[in-house]
Amino acid sequence: MPDKEQRPFGQLIPYEEALSTVLKNVHPVKRKESVDLDDAFQRVLAEDVTSDIFVPPFERAAMDGFAVKAEDTFDAGKFDPVTLEQTGTLHAGDAPDEEVGNGECIQIATGAPLPEGADAVVKVEETEKKDGQIAIYDPVHPGENVSPKGEDIEEGERILDKDMSLTSARIGSLAAIGVQKVKVYEKPKIGVIPTGDEVVPVGDELEPGQIYDVNSHTLSSVVRNNGCEPVNKKVVQDSIEGLKKEIENEVEEMDMVLFSGGSSVGDKDILIDALDSMGEVIFHGVKLKPGKPTLFGKVKDTLVIGMPGYPTSCLNTAQRLIKPALRKMSRLPKSVERTTKAKLQKRITSSLGRQQYMTVKLDEDKAMPVYKQSGAITSMSRADGYFEIPENVELVEKGEEINVTLY
Amino acid sequence: MPDKEQRPFGQLIPYEEALSTVLKNVHPVKRKESVDLDDAFQRVLAEDVTSDIFVPPFERAAMDGFAVKAEDTFDAGKFDPVTLEQTGTLHAGDAPDEEVGNGECIQIATGAPLPEGADAVVKVEETEKKDGQIAIYDPVHPGENVSPKGEDIEEGERILDKDMSLTSARIGSLAAIGVQKVKVYEKPKIGVIPTGDEVVPVGDELEPGQIYDVNSHTLSSVVRNNGCEPVNKKVVQDSIEGLKKEIENEVEEMDMVLFSGGSSVGDKDILIDALDSMGEVIFHGVKLKPGKPTLFGKVKDTLVIGMPGYPTSCLNTAQRLIKPALRKMSRLPKSVERTTKAKLQKRITSSLGRQQYMTVKLDEDKAMPVYKQSGAITSMSRADGYFEIPENVELVEKGEEINVTLY
């Protein structure tokens, strides 16, 4: 009975199959660039990093006190100090030029280089100035209160590996060896292209029949938050020629192309036809709710994805299917979600045969569904997180404990 | 016995007390600014947002099909269709100018405005073109397959509240009502000032006795990642005059000031004296490992914090004490850590009387400590996360299950 001009979906594929297909078809970025150390946070290293220096670069005092020959202190005791002659003072940053001889000591600050001749530091608490001499009340062994040269990092040591993402601590390791510029992978470029004759940019005045472009903005934030760079384009009108021209331009420059808008099968037809004639359609329709009408194709080895038009469907699909792809492309580690357990406050029925994501608002350990209807972006924006209802579950009872993934 | 020129710590205070003192002394930022919608992700709303429009702005088709008067379809059946005359076609973006009369229908795409006279949409799958007429095989009730005007957002409805942080979905809600500029709170400005005569900036050549500035870079990344803006300053040499001048400048312009470097008590003395003479010292020394030598004071209502000099101590203190303060200042929600359970692969002894953070590397559910020594930034940069050993625990056995907080 279907009208041939408007095609329904083909066979919906399960979410897991869609995800593995997407991941199989995206490739980690290979292009590299150099960035300043302070811009490298959360970027991904494009080379192993080996140290040219020792850290610390010299043997240094680990405590404030006096640099000594340890053997000079062996006879010291709480009530029977040994006395040494202070021949100098070393602050952090000083280059030592004096040697510590037998019976001598040099006052030293934490972090200052240990002078020649000394092999230990007596803590200041165990000493006393007495008639111009230094009384030592506790013996030290060689090496005591001294940080050896290279204690943290040896010269020639590999401190970080290619493909590591740069945490605060790793930024710190790079700083410790004096790195100012870091070789990282470029951020993959993702074309974000709104489509639909009814869609207009925010800031414009709405004419009758028009709505604002929501998906470009939500998609850009997901793209940016997962190590990639969104390249936002103007709205493309629903014509096969316009779409083909746009795809031709984009696949040259982008690592992935996301079309959004065109809210259902009717509009998708044009994208299907464009992909069919320029490359291939890989799948169309996923057992995901919200998020069924996703179209996934390839032109010249670049993925071209038609996202669902409804804002919640588009965003849920972005988080379930596109985010893992973005992280693979940008070489970021898989995202570990933050979850919490809560008691569902309302009985929920679900669609058999589609993996459903239900948004909830949390009040301590109580979870209240905030689902409005499939198009309603407000249902997601009021939510604190969501829980999954598997494909084969139709009903979740009030009071049941659920696992909420936090936004 | 202590040498009066180098003071030891005062009474160490418990971590929880230090944290609550820090939080009591920082205030959420009040300054506001307008930013572009696409720059507003993860920023904090500085005003309630109320919609000027309905979303959708008009009654529209929720399916591809035919706009009809529902009553015209009541007699339709699978083998006994009713036939209607198609008087037009409406695409998304069209402004409807024709009315649907009795016995008539208009072909309509998902998202197109419902024409006058129509009150329902028959899905395209339930129709057939037949001799220029449209056969309807299934009755619809009024409102079926139609999204009412304002279904998602009503005109005048408050869609987001002041102090909400902007997730992807909230960005989407703002786009849905056409917002181009968003009023958000400014990022609090945090002065990050390296101190120490031995500390030189990355990129410089090291002279004897010198080390690279690590803490400015790790602190900046923590500051930036928690909604604040680091303002990096040049190394301040260890002199009371230099320090006082720096503090005077900074407390005028910054919301908080972090001094780092000056690795221990000796160097801290200068900062203590400066704070004593210009404002007040609130505490000095926390039962935290790594991280004991933290100095916390206030000058003219601006917090001035002396961070520990050792990179790991500095970073651990930043994550435990400074991060919650930054999030309170920037009005971001408390950070929810991601955790996983693992089995400790090595027996660990800890310092009684200090809350200790032990870094570990994970191999599935096995956790191997990667602690080197207190100064070693590499022990953190190789780690996947850490676990806490409470103040009153001295020993964690090999094989024990631990809670690992992931980086």
Average pLDDT over residues A190-205: 92
Q: Which of B162, B185, B208 is the last residue of a domain?
A: B185
Weakest mean pLDDT among A10-14, A22-26, A96-100, A217-221 = A10-14
Minimum distance, in Å, between the CA of residue A208 and any CA atom of chain B: 5
For residue B241, the model assigns a pLDDT of: 86
For chain B, the maximum distance between any two Cα atoms, rounded to a whole number of angstroms, is: 109
User: Does B138 have pLDDT greater than 60?
Assistant: yes
Q: What pLDDT was estimated at residue A1?
A: 32
Residues in A touching B315 (Cβ below 8 Å): 168-169, 172
Which tens digit of pLDDT belongs to each residue from A334-357?
887 888 899 999 998 887 778 888
Q: What is the secondary structure of B53-93 as a DSSP string? A: S-BSSS-EESSSEEEE-GGGGTT-BTTB-EEEEEEEEE-TT
At A28 the pLDDT is 97
Q: Does A144 touch chain B (CB under 8 A)?
A: no
Q: Same structural domain for residues B237 and B354? A: no
- Does B134 share its domain with B44? no
* Lookup result for tokens 């302070």: A38
Q: Cα torsion at B285, B286, B291, B296 (round to 10°)? A: -60
Is the torsion defined by CA of A48, A52, A55, A59 positive or negative? positive
pLDDT tens per residue, range B180-200: 999 999 999 999 999 888 899
Q: Distance of CA A87 to CAs A100, A115, B3, B197, B290, Å?
A: 8, 11, 17, 21, 34
Residue B98 belongs to domain with CATH number: 2.170.190.11
Q: How confident is the model over B363-376, as a mean pLDDT?
A: 78
User: B82-90 and B104-108: which strand pairing?
Assistant: parallel
pLDDT of A3 over the 80 cut: no
Pick from A91, A210, A266: CB nearest B93 = A210
Whether A146 contacts chain B with CB within 8 A: no
B7 within some domain: no
- pLDDT at A273 (0 to 100): 87
Q: A37 with A160: CB under 8 angstroms?
A: no
Q: Comparing C-alpha atoms, which of B32, B140, B132 is closest to residue B85? A: B132
Considering the entire predicted model, what is its pTM?
Answer: 0.90
Q: How close B338 gets to chain A, by Cα (Å)?
A: 5
**Looking at A147, A175, A196, which one is the last position of a domain?**
A147
Q: Is residue B277 part of a domain?
A: yes
pLDDT at A134: 96
Would you state the pLDDT for residue A377?
Answer: 80
Q: Cα–Cα distance between A37 and A170 in angstroms, integer?
A: 10
Q: Which of B10-19, B156-165, B242-251, B332-341 has the highest average model confidence (pLDDT)?
A: B156-165
Number of domains in chain B: 4
Same domain, A268 and A326: yes
Contact indicator for B123, B105 with CB cutoff of 8 Å: no
Among A352, A358, A338, residue whose Cα is nearest residue A400: A358
Give yes or no: residues B195 and B236 share one domain.
yes
Please check whether residue A246 touches B, CB under 8 A: no
Do B286 and B168 share a domain, yes or no? no
- As a whole number of angstroms, the distance between CA A307 and CA A259 comes to 6
Best CA proximity match to B70, nearest among B147, B151, B144: B144
pLDDT at B5: 41
Q: Do B171 and A127 count as a contact with CB atoms less than 8 A apart?
A: no
Closest listed residue to residue A143, CA positions, set A55, A77, A53, A71: A71
pLDDT of residue A265: 45
Q: How many CA atoms lie within 13 A of B4 on its CB side?
A: 2
Q: What is the pLDDT of residues B279-302, one digit of tens each?
A: 999 988 888 888 777 889 999 989
Whether A90 has a pLDDT exceeding 50, the answer reads: yes
What average pLDDT does the segment B65-81 reach?
A: 95
Q: State the pLDDT confidence band at A264, using cuts at 50, 70 and 90.
A: very low
pLDDT band at A268 (very low <50, low <70, confident <90, very high): low
Secondary structure of A261-288 in HEC code, one letter for each residue: ECCCHHHHHHHHHHHHHHCEEEEECEEE
The beta strand positions in B268-338, using DSSP E, are 280-284, 286-289, 295-299, 302-306
Q: Do residues A333 and A312 make contact, with C-beta atoms less than 8 angstroms apart?
A: no
Looking at the fold, whether A242 and A383 belong to one and the same domain comes out as no
| pLDDT tens-digit map of A16-73 | 999 999 999 999 999 999 999 999 999 999 999 999 999 999 999 988 899 999 999 9
Residue at which a domain ends, from B137, B162, B185: B185
How far out from the chain centre does Cα B308 lie? 26
| Complex ipTM | 0.89
The verdict on residue B353 lying in a domain is yes
Same domain? B200 vs B282: yes
Per DSSP, the three-state class of B380 is helix
Q: Which residues of B touch A199 (CB under 8 A)?
A: 93
| Candidates B168, B236, B337, partner chain A, best to mutate (most A CBs within 10 A) | B168
User: Is residue B162 less than 8 Å (CB to CB) from chain A?
Assistant: no
Whether the CB-CB separation of B171 and B41 falls below 8 Å is answered with: yes
Q: Which domain holds residue A235?
A: 13-31+187-330
Q: Cα angle at B216 between B214 and B220, to 5 degrees?
A: 125
Average pLDDT on B104-108 reads: 96
CATH of the domain at B402: 2.40.340.10
- Residue B364 contacts A where some CB pair is shorter than 8 Å: no
Residues B27 and B39 in one domain: no
Residue A48 lies in a domain: yes
Whether omega before A56 lies within 30 degrees of 0, making that bond cis, reads: yes
Residues B42 and B176 in one domain: yes
pLDDT, position B10: 62
Least confident of A266-275, B72-81, B360-369: A266-275
| Inside any domain, residue B108 | yes
CB pairs under 8 A between A and B: 315
B158 has pLDDT over 90: yes
Which two three-digit tokens encode residue B129?
Answer: 């073109």
Other beta carbons within 10 Å of B358: 23
Question: Is A37 in the B-facing interface, judged by CB distances under 8 Å?
Answer: yes
Phi and psi angles of residue A193, each rounded to the nearest 5 degrees, phi first: -125, 110
Mean pLDDT lowest for which of A245-249, A264-268, B331-335? A264-268
DSSP state of A346: S
Judged by a CB distance cut-off of 8 A, whether residue B50 touches chain A is no
* Nearest-5° Cα angle at A206, A381 to B171: 20
How does B239-278 read in b/e, with b if 16+ C-beta sit within 10 Å?
eeeebbebbeebbeebbbbbbbbbbbbbbbbbbbebbeeb
Across B32-50, average pLDDT: 97
pLDDT tier for residue A308 given thresholds of 50, 70 and 90: confident
Asked if the peptide bond before residue B290 counts as cis, ω within 30 degrees of 0, the response is yes
In-domain check, residue A81: yes
Query: How sure is the predictor about B20, in pLDDT bands with cuts at 50, 70 and 90?
Result: very high
Chain A residues 365-404 with a CB less than 8 Å from chain B: 372-373, 375-378, 380-381, 383
Report, in this order, helix, strand and coil percent for chain B, each rounded to 5.
25, 35, 45
Among A7, A43, A63, A217, the strongest candidate for a mutation testing the B interface, having the largest count of B CBs within 10 A, is A217
Give me the percent of chain A exceeding a pLDDT of 70: 94
Across chain A, mean pLDDT equals 89
Q: Is the residue at A1 inside a domain?
A: no
Q: Are residues B124 and B228 in the same domain?
A: no
What angle, rounded to 10 degrees, do the helices at B323-330 and B15-24 form?
20
Q: Does the pLDDT at position A263 exceed 70?
A: no
In this complex, the residue of B111, B153, B232 whose CB is nearest that of residue A309 is: B111
Give the tokens for residue B223.
Answer: 């500051």
CA distance B108 to chain A (A): 10
Convert the pLDDT of each residue in A93-130 to its tens digit.
888 889 999 999 999 988 899 999 999 999 999 999 98
Q: What is the pLDDT of residue A292?
A: 77
Q: Is A67 on the interface with B (CB under 8 A)?
A: no
Same domain assignment for residues A239 and A133: no
pLDDT of residue A357: 85
Q: Which residue has the higher pLDDT, A245 or B266?
A: A245
The CATH code of the domain that includes A45 is 3.90.105.10
One domain, residues B301 and B205: yes
Tell me: pLDDT of B358 over 50: yes
Residue ranges in A3-63 assigned as alpha helix (H): 15-24
Q: Is residue A6 part of a domain?
A: no
* Sheet strands (E) in B109-246: 120-123, 127-130, 133-136, 146-147, 158-160, 181-185, 189-195, 199-200, 211-212, 229-232
pLDDT band at B167 (very low <50, low <70, confident <90, very high): very high
Model pLDDT, residue A4: 35
pLDDT higher than 60, residue A5: no
Contacts of B3 (CB under 8 A, 6+ apart): A124, A127, A128, A129
Q: Which two tokens stand for residue B105?
A: 């229908």
Task: Report d(CA A109, CA B120) in Å as an integer.
Answer: 84
The 10s digit of each residue's pLDDT in B229-256 is: 999 988 887 788 888 999 999 999 999 9
pLDDT of A267 reads 56
Q: Which residues pair with A405 in a beta bridge?
A: A339, A386
B168 in contact with A at a CB cutoff of 8 Å? yes
pLDDT confidence band for B267 (50 / 70 / 90)? low
